Structure 1
Amino acid sequence: MPQIKRHLYVVIMLVSMSMWSQKTIDDDPEILQNNIDYRISQSEIDIENYNYFEAQKKLDDALELAVKLNNKKSIGIIYSKKGKLQLIIEEQDQALLSLNNAIKVQLDSKDNANLADSYKTLGEVYLSKKDNQQALDYFISAKTLFGQEGLNKNVAETLFLEGKTYVNLKNYKQARITLEQSIALAKKEGLVKIESAALINHGKVYAILGDNEKALTFANEGLKIAKSYNYPDIINDGYAVVSDIYKNIENYKASNDYLRAYIKLSDSLRAVKKANLSPEKKIKSLMNDQIEKNKKTEEELVEATSKNGINTLISILSVALITILSLLTLSLYKNNNIRLKTNNMLHKKNAELIIAKEKAELASKTKANFLSTVTHELRTPLYAVTGLSNMLLDENPRPEQVQHLKSLKFSGDYLLTFINDILQINKIEANKVDIEPESFNLRKKINNIVLALNNSALDNNVKIHFEYDKHLPENFIADQLKISQILINLIGNSIKFTKDGDIWIRVYKIEQKDNTYTLRFEVEDNGIGISEEKQENMFESFSQGSIQINRKYGGTGLGLSIVKGLIDILKGKIYLKSELGKGTTFYFEIPLEYTAEKEKDISDNKTNLFENIDNLDLTNVRILVVEDNKINQMITKKILTKMNLKCDIVDNGEDAVDMIKANKFDIVLMDIHMPGISGIEATKIVRTFDKELTIFALTAVTIEDKMHEFEEAGFTDIIPKPFKQEEFEKKLYNALAANKDKSTTA
């Protein structure tokens, strides 16, 4: 390190000696700008001829001049070109840095045309890194800006890249549409290179979709154009695609011929690129650059000697010495400096990541606590709304009141669904959703879902068709509840947005590894469809097709977000294909494990106690309701009275404990949030002297957040508020029947 400093000191001294007399490039702004533009154009020629190091040098020189001139537009363009070059030579991280520098300058200077170009190149970088969604976002941004600037040639190329990205995302319908647009625009603008590449990729999409005849037509057309204009990279892609198509139609000889041509050309292109990126090529480029500098120095030295200009001579010698020393000194210094900076950045980054992680965890806890509190406060009055509306509907209301009460009940149910959806999204985001695999019959499960939703479909004059691959087994091990929720959401959506139409549900195998099947589920409708621009955000929370659609069809916009979250948890993927006025297809792929074990039939193994309530003697049954809210007391008492059950009511935990000590109760319905001691604390005390008493937590809190507390306290079961009356009755009757069995056995 001291040696490096000494070298630098010499360099700096020589520079300072030469500053006052050195001849410089003409400082005229127009000449400077011409030099910048010339270097940029020459760098593009170098790139086409695989002279990457020469191109890099010209761009570095151009950047130095642009900074001197303070021309923001040129600075942005040069950074963008550097990013493109770094992408070609597979330095993606460096490319990201250069492109972000370009975008920053172009945003500040409002240079939208070149900003669009930087976005496009940034999309290509993310495409090379296989971050397809990020790539797609940048391509769409670039396309929009190019369109606003009227740059149709650039739009054609961006559409082609967007189409390739949709192929990677397996959104083949959208890929086909986008590539068709690219081909049409490329033909119109005379962009044969883009046209040939888009045609080949169009053929690739048709091959994937199973139309091999069209696939071959498009791919051969693109390959013919590429050969005519000698575009080796595109020819190479064409060979690969045509080989695959011939393989699909079982013409193995033709497939093999094209495959050999592809391998041969790939090797050739790879060799050319490797040769032009070799250390030898870099050294040669540096030497050529140095030779040019030496020639210039010699010319100036001769001129200075003839003029006997001692000051000029010193200046030229200084520059020569600087050149010699800089090759070693500055490279050593930069390498050392970069290493130190990298280490410092890593330490700093680690510290920042730790702080960010702590902040994120705190924010997540705060959000969870907030949601828990808010939902409890909402559920409590909702219990009153749904409970009272059900009660009034059961009490023979006047005809003119029925519709109002039904509207009130609908609003309550809607609000409850909305709250539950928010809570589920919160659980998914917080990674609190557990997978609960069990063996079940998949075909039977989907049939049951179709039957359950058929009435809603008939209301819209919609016919549901269910197709299950006949070669597919029916029994699998998976989380059937989550699969049901996904299908109910998707089919329900299709029903909502389809009038006088059809819905098709299909299930078939994508691949199989041992006992693990990757299945594709499709839900297709011929309803209103989704516009192209809205499709990008359909899986985000609160996303709807439009304000008008939201008002007409209702919904919270949370269903698809939940669906995507559940599919991610099941290690699957979901895709969307849609066209306005022609319908929508959602399809998702998830792995399921085949099992020879058949689904357990509950009716064979367990008596349905709810069906045997006539055998129960309810005369002496006593229930204690522990509830501090007066309206909720009234509702619960009404429901119990309707069930022919007697109850006592207390409004706090202390009195509940005293009542249980002094009396014999069959069931206790315990609220959680109360003045004094909570329902959890009261239950813990009761369990110190009565281990067998049936105690239900009748609560509006988020159950998942408190489950461990409920279990530790000793609750028999939980009934969340607001509840469906039939479920409430079933739990109570089953508990009473179980108590009767215990007493009989004893």
Structure 2
Amino acid sequence: MKILFLNKVLQILIVPILFLVATTNLFSQNKVLSEDTQSYFDQARIYRNQDKIDLALETLNAAASSAEKNEDVKALIDSLHELALLYLKINKEGDTEFYWDRASVLMKDIAHPYGDAMHKYIEAILLHRSNRNFQALFMLNEAKQLNNDRNFYNNLLLTEAKVYISLEKYDSAVKNLNSLVINTDIYEKEYLSSQAYLTLAKLNLTTDNLSESVKNGENALKIANQNGFLKDIEEANTLLTSTYEKLGLYQKSLVNSQNLIRLKDSIFNIDKVKIEAKTADIIRDDYKTEVIAKQNVEIEDLKESQNRSELTAILTSAFLIIISLLAVTLYRNNQIKLKTNDLLQTKNKELQIARDGAVQAMEAKTNFLSTVSHELRTPLYAVTGLTHLLLEENPEEHQKEHLKALKFSGDYLLNFINDILHINKIDANKLEPLNMEFNLNKVINEVINSLGQSAKANNTKLILEYDSNIPGHLLSDPLKLSQVFMNLIGNSIKFTKGGEVKVITKLLNKKDDDVTIYFEVSDNGIGISKEKQKSIFEGFEQGSIQINREYGGTGLGLTIVKSLLGLFNSKIELESELGQGSSFFFEIEMKSMDAIPEDFSFEITSREYDFKNLHLLIVEDNKINQVITKKMLSKKEMTSDIANNGHEAITLAQENVYDAILMDIHMPGISGEEATIEIRKFNQDTPIIALTAISLDDSLESFYAAGCNDVVTKPFKPEVFYQKIGENIFDKNPKNSLS
């Protein structure tokens, strides 16, 4: 009875102690992977891909020892995962599962997203090897959600392709493998390309596409020979031997067969296999021995702890009465807390339902506005394009007036659509501030100069008060700052006739490279009433219906300003009095770049290009857009062919030589992305410029991954259109930026 009583007391005291130890352990494991450990991984990756398994094993074993010595739990988990993958390569699945299980134990008490992703990735490979391919796909998708490391993602795509092949989903496999053929991986670019070509060759052989199988097999063999990927060299020669024999090309089959014999005689010999197997067994057995030794130490510690437990029990019994009293008090408090928690949970569920409804409504609004803005761009391209062409054909004076009015309306509608898409991108967290060097004085002056005509039309004076103490070179996002000033100054000009608009900048604080700058845009225009000041920054809001009818506009300008400043962690404030004018002001923190000389220029000047006699391919399904684009090319003495869809584009690109291809992305049948992927299989040199209407969900990264050199959005400014063509044809160094 006494023993049971003492055990109860020990259980009460040991729980908080264990909790404290576990918490301390968790915090102590939150370390960054050391450079030494990373260098081990990099070297082991090279050995593994060159089939030097014994050296790769020794390197990873050294990485694990270093991680244990430095008490770096995350690095140890990563080392165990790398060892598990290496044992998979030599088909020792039992040893793979051993290291995978050891990593599982360590991952229970630490947050390590990359480790979780790698754990699921290894499990997916094991599932694939046991023909549980649908479960493997599920695990690969789980791993994909946990980590966005480029090298990890590329290896995951390769494994996913092999699973697709096992499921006979050949189209999905080909898409993955094509993206890996032209990958930009900084660690394993050549190895991933070799593996992609080799897997494509095996897939082609399975589907009896023998010519493609030979082509891909030769590509794999070439890369493998250049980089010493011994296993890939062996597999490529084996595959080519079989494929050439099926094609009746026995001489070529014999060459590959002889290569294979020489390779096996010189490299894949019995001694090498024995050394690798011996190294693998030694490292595994040594690690198991260390684990057993650690467990024995823990057992001895537990025995010593048991001898001290009797003394601990006697001491703890002295606190029993106090603990009992505390327990009663805690019980009563817990009952109260339970009731409160029940009430809070009910309220939380109600709030969660309301929040989910609001999120769904926001997503529906975002998707609707994104679709509308995207669909309007194509017909608007026809309006703005035709207007531009007609204005350049020397129209009559009475026609010119109508055309200018049409151009103004088209530009207004385009700005409106851009505003909607811009707000959607901010709301959907798809817009982030850049960090680039710029001159603030120049940015503000450029905005003021661009709005000079509007100010002159309203007989409004523009005044800039610029603090000379502001550093000449700053680090922030000048493009988004220009948008902020364009909206604020333009707004003030619109509502101020015969008055003045003042732009003020002041240096509030400067400490080392950190500067805080105060901005203010004030006017003596019509002002804003107190009640409207509360909603003036909401979308589609203006002072009143009468103001909207008199002055026009969408009411989105201040909404965009508020959203953009939110990206800088800044908040806009307003002071205004009806009939007396308004003042908008805010502060932004930036970085100073004082070390840069004053005469240093950040701008890249545009070049004049000679487009005469260039021949381009226009890929466009809209007949009106075809006419406009072709006419714009002919204005610069360029000739062009037209493809109405992706299939025609591929055929024409095979049969003709073009200086560049203008590719629409959204087309019926195969998309522009798919057409670009197919063209890149036989043509790596011709510049391909995506000429398309971008929506909120479009991914520029996927355009470039497909093989596009640059992107121009419709509708576009003619000077941007010509500049992009010149850069990609003559300079071969496009900006890779959305224009």
TM score, norm. by length of structure 2? 0.52
Matching of residue 674 in structure 1 with residue 667 in structure 2: yes
Equivalents in 1 of 2:441, 2:401: separation in Å? Answer: 39
Q: CA RMSD in A?
A: 2.7
Q: CA deviation at 1:352?
A: 5.3
The answer on whether the counterparts of 1:538 and 1:544 sit within 8 Å (CA) in structure 2 is yes
- Choose from 608, 624, 634 the match for 2:617: 624
Decide whether aligned partners of structure 1 residues 633 and 361 sit closer, same or farther in structure 2, where only a CA change above 3 A counts.
Answer: same
State the partner residue of 1:708: 701
Opposite residue 653 of structure 2, the aligned amino acid is I
The answer on whether the counterparts of 2:507 and 2:518 sit within 8 Å (CA) in structure 1 is yes
State the partner residue of 2:730: 737
Q: CA deviation at 1:475?
A: 1.8
Decide whether aligned partners of structure 1 residues 740 and 462 sit closer, same or farther in structure 2, where only a CA change above 3 A counts.
Answer: closer
Opposite residue 591 of structure 1, the aligned amino acid is E
- Choose from 602, 607, 610 the match for 2:607: 610
Equivalents in 2 of 1:675, 1:444: separation in Å? Answer: 46
Matching of residue 431 in structure 1 with residue 424 in structure 2: no
Opposite residue 638 of structure 2, the aligned amino acid is L
Structure 1 residues 629-640: aligned runs within 5 Å: 629-640=622-633
- Choose from 571, 574, 583 the match for 2:572: 574
Opposite residue 626 of structure 2, the aligned amino acid is Q
Specify the SS of the correspondent of 1:489: helix
Q: CA deviation at 1:444?
A: 2.0
Structure 1 residues 259-338: aligned runs within 5 Å: 338=336
State the partner residue of 2:290: none
Opposite residue 516 of structure 1, the aligned amino acid is D
Q: Give per-residue Cα distances to partners, 1:469-501, cap 9 Å, x unaligned.
A: 233323211111111111111111111111111
Matching of residue 508 in structure 1 with residue 502 in structure 2: no
The answer on whether the counterparts of 1:441 and 1:599 sit within 8 Å (CA) in structure 2 is no
The answer on whether the counterparts of 1:379 and 1:700 sit within 8 Å (CA) in structure 2 is yes
Matched residues, number: 406
The answer on whether the counterparts of 1:570 and 1:590 sit within 8 Å (CA) in structure 2 is yes
State the partner residue of 1:382: 380
Equivalents in 1 of 2:411, 2:611: separation in Å? Answer: 34
Opposite residue 623 of structure 1, the aligned amino acid is L
The answer on whether the counterparts of 1:609 and 1:737 sit within 8 Å (CA) in structure 2 is no
State the partner residue of 2:587: 589
Q: CA deviation at 1:463?
A: 1.6
Decide whether aligned partners of structure 1 residues 580 and 609 sit closer, same or farther in structure 2, where only a CA change above 3 A counts.
Answer: closer
Matching of residue 459 in structure 1 with residue 452 in structure 2: no
Specify the SS of the correspondent of 2:607: helix
Q: CA deviation at 1:368?
A: 3.7
State the partner residue of 1:51: none
Q: CA deviation at 1:734?
A: 2.6
Q: CA deviation at 1:365?
A: 4.4
The answer on whether the counterparts of 1:421 and 1:562 sit within 8 Å (CA) in structure 2 is yes
The answer on whether the counterparts of 2:472 and 2:598 sit within 8 Å (CA) in structure 1 is no
State the partner residue of 1:687: 680
Opposite residue 445 of structure 1, the aligned amino acid is V
- Choose from 420, 440, 443 the match for 1:422: 420
- Choose from 530, 533, 551 the match for 1:532: 530
Decide whether aligned partners of structure 1 residues 693 and 362 sit closer, same or farther in structure 2, where only a CA change above 3 A counts.
Answer: farther
Matching of residue 723 in structure 1 with residue 716 in structure 2: yes
- Choose from 561, 565, 570 the match for 1:563: 561
Q: CA deviation at 1:598?
A: 3.3
Decide whether aligned partners of structure 1 residues 354 and 537 sit closer, same or farther in structure 2, where only a CA change above 3 A counts.
Answer: closer
Q: Give per-residue Cα distances to partners, 1:266-297, cap 9 Å, x unaligned.
A: xxxxxxxxxxxxxxxxxxxxxxxxxxxxxxxx
Specify the SS of the correspondent of 2:451: helix
Q: Give per-residue Cα distances to partners, 1:374-429, cap 9 Å, x unaligned.
A: 22211111011111122222223333322222222111111111111011111111
Structure 1 residues 203-282: aligned runs within 5 Å: none
Equivalents in 1 of 2:542, 2:360: separation in Å? Answer: 30
Decide whether aligned partners of structure 1 residues 739 and 510 sit closer, same or farther in structure 2, where only a CA change above 3 A counts.
Answer: closer
Instruction: Give the fraction of aligned pairs with identical amino acids, expressed as a percent.
Output: 52
Opposite residue 552 of structure 1, the aligned amino acid is E
Question: 5+ residue gaps in structure 1?
Answer: 1-330, 742-746
Q: CA deviation at 1:355?
A: 5.5
State the partner residue of 2:393: 395
Moved more, 708-717 or 470-479: 470-479
Matching of residue 412 in structure 1 with residue 405 in structure 2: no
Moved more, 562-571 or 723-732: 723-732
TM score, norm. by length of structure 1? 0.51
Decide whether aligned partners of structure 1 residues 353 and 691 sit closer, same or farther in structure 2, where only a CA change above 3 A counts.
Answer: farther
Specify the SS of the correspondent of 1:610: coil
Q: Give per-residue Cα distances to partners, 1:190-234, cap 9 Å, x unaligned.
A: xxxxxxxxxxxxxxxxxxxxxxxxxxxxxxxxxxxxxxxxxxxxx
Moved more, 470-479 or 362-371: 362-371
State the partner residue of 2:10: none
Specify the SS of the correspondent of 1:674: coil
The answer on whether the counterparts of 2:611 and 2:637 sit within 8 Å (CA) in structure 1 is no
Q: CA deviation at 1:687?
A: 1.5
State the partner residue of 1:494: 492
State the partner residue of 1:658: 651
Opposite residue 590 of structure 1, the aligned amino acid is I
Q: CA deviation at 1:641?
A: 0.8
Matching of residue 517 in structure 1 with residue 511 in structure 2: no
Q: CA deviation at 1:436?
A: 0.5
Equivalents in 2 of 1:448, 1:440: separation in Å? Answer: 13
Equivalents in 1 of 2:355, 2:536: separation in Å? Answer: 29
- Choose from 438, 441, 446 the match for 2:439: 441
Specify the SS of the correspondent of 1:705: coil
Moved more, 469-478 or 639-648: 469-478
Specify the SS of the correspondent of 1:517: strand
Decide whether aligned partners of structure 1 residues 532 and 352 sit closer, same or farther in structure 2, where only a CA change above 3 A counts.
Answer: closer
Opposite residue 685 of structure 1, the aligned amino acid is E
Specify the SS of the correspondent of 1:688: helix
Bigger Cα Rg: 1
Decide whether aligned partners of structure 1 residues 533 and 658 sit closer, same or farther in structure 2, where only a CA change above 3 A counts.
Answer: same
Equivalents in 2 of 1:568, 1:640: separation in Å? Answer: 41
State the partner residue of 1:250: none
Decide whether aligned partners of structure 1 residues 361 and 691 sit closer, same or farther in structure 2, where only a CA change above 3 A counts.
Answer: farther
Q: CA deviation at 1:458?
A: 1.7
Decide whether aligned partners of structure 1 residues 432 and 637 sit closer, same or farther in structure 2, where only a CA change above 3 A counts.
Answer: same
Question: 5+ residue gaps in structure 2?
Answer: 1-328, 735-739
